[in-house]
Structure 1
């Protein structure tokens, strides 16, 4: 195999297929029910994230650095699920498994960029909670609108750049063995493993990206909450600890929903059947964007109050219109 790779490198022969074939989830009985479930998840995600974004836009009291990050997370969830789920349903429900080469790379780019931004956005929210609890008197000095916007913009640049590099390295590969991708979408790892020439650069960038986008954010979030727990244990009363926990509950829920399935999948991948692994990863991709808005609406007092206020204003406006019409 090494001889073949080196010979292919010397000849500089590139074989780009006209299309790839997405084969994941194809041999599971009654799988169409799962696609119907995914459609429900997508609709719920669409509605939930749209509501969160609308509430933040309509209520001036939510124009804070924290809710800039919440708005961005809702946008990423909405955009990410819109990039993934309709195409996934088109591939499997309507049996359009042949996806053109360039379309596959574009599909990969949008999906990976949004998945990366979800993890990085959780870092921004963790940092916001860290400053709010450890430095409450300096919060408005340290955590400004400009700082949060700059932080989120830098995360977008990081996510887009890392994904572009990964996609760019795929374009140098020759595919002379197979064009069948055993996944539910154009998975970077599955694609570069099909390459016939040297895939070392692809493997390296995949490892770096997973560390930068997945493990480093997780370590930072864990360290930030260790710092919060230490600070609360030293200088706060039981009432203050309960209050601090309530402010962090929504974010901790999002972290658990996003990272725990990935950790279970990657640490136990050898013991998980391929189809079960594909279903678990697909759920990990589409489920958090549906649950995030529900968690923020139910666990965040400001958003609950804002929703009540908007609904009350709308109800009063309807009553006023009816009175005017009756007159």
Structure 2
């Protein structure tokens, strides 16, 4: 993706998370570990869902898409950070910075809309179980996923193109480990009225509106649960929705805190810590959150790992003989 700003700045400097060499070394191994766990965990979730016919349902279809997006989401930022540490080079070209912004906002937007689709799926399953099979058809599920990718792409493209209109003067240091929209806007020295307007309008449609949709869905679910007389029935519903609610709180809580609260109420360090939560920690925790509290998911993972181990042991025995 090509970018051309009006100030002549050809590159930015990513300051990272620390200036201390010892802390940098620790952060490198920590982020490498979290990236590998994120990739492995989400890949296992996808493989388990694909290999088990019992998991070919709307809920797990959305979960497999969420796992794919989480792998892409973390791959947008962490490899560049690790590369900068290895080669001791913190610079990133202007065009490269815009590319990173584009993919970062795109995958974050898909995550947001997919979480809403999952909430809607739970709402239909709990509040209208007799109509579930006619409402959540494969066509509807595919359409919801297509909308999430398309709308998030349009939102990301809007913000990225508008960045090319800005002039960047003074220093070009970004107090972050990747190119994010918020710190980039703080570096601009031209009028940002349109950029800010798009953040609070188009950006809100991708973040705040889905969040409101999730709240409405769970309000209906909560009222439906209150009508259930048996304690075991209530526990089953809360167990089904608990994982999704945990991920929603982690994801939306940090995003709203960074992008939709007054900048005077938080520092760059607080923004960075919150961003690490939803860009690195949440994608890493998602596989554990969704699998540890789900018997079907744990069973599918156990079967997948058992089959893979048997295959590997079989190959080893053939090779040794």
TM over 0.5: yes
Aligned pair partner of 1:200 in 145, 169, 193: 193
Match of 1:110 in 2: 103
Report the CA distance between 1:64 and its aligned residue. 1.4
Normalising to structure 2: TM-score of the pair? 0.88
State yes or no: 1:304 paired with 2:308: no
- Contact persistence 1:193–1:199 (CA under 8 A): no
Residues in 2 aligned to 1:191 and 1:321: alpha-carbon distance in whole angstroms: 52
Structure 2, unpaired ranges of 5+: none
In structure 2, what is the Cα distance between the partners aligned to 1:243 and 1:292? 20
CA contact (8 A) 1:24 1:275 kept: no
The match for 1:80 is 73
| Structure 1 partner of 2:10 | 18
* TM-score after normalising by structure 1: 0.87
1:52 aligns with 2:45: yes
CA distance 1:272–1:31, change in 2 (3 Å): farther
Give 1:267 shift: 5.1
**Deviations along 1:278-303, whole A, 9 cap, x unmatched?**
13322321111110011122112211
Is this contact kept in 2: 1:179–1:194, CA < 8 A?
yes
Which shows bigger deviation, 64-73 or 259-268? 259-268
Which shifted more, 90-99 or 143-152?
90-99
State the aligned residue count. Answer: 315
1:197 and 1:261 mapped to 2: Cα distance? 28
What is the match of residue 253 of structure 2? Answer: 260
Gaps of 5+ in 1: 1-12
| CA deviation after TM superposition for structure 1 residue 121, in Å | 1.2
Shift of 1:209: 3.7
Q: Deviations over 1:75-103 (max 9, x none)?
A: 00011111111112223564322111111
Q: Which residue of 1 aligns with 2:287?
A: 293
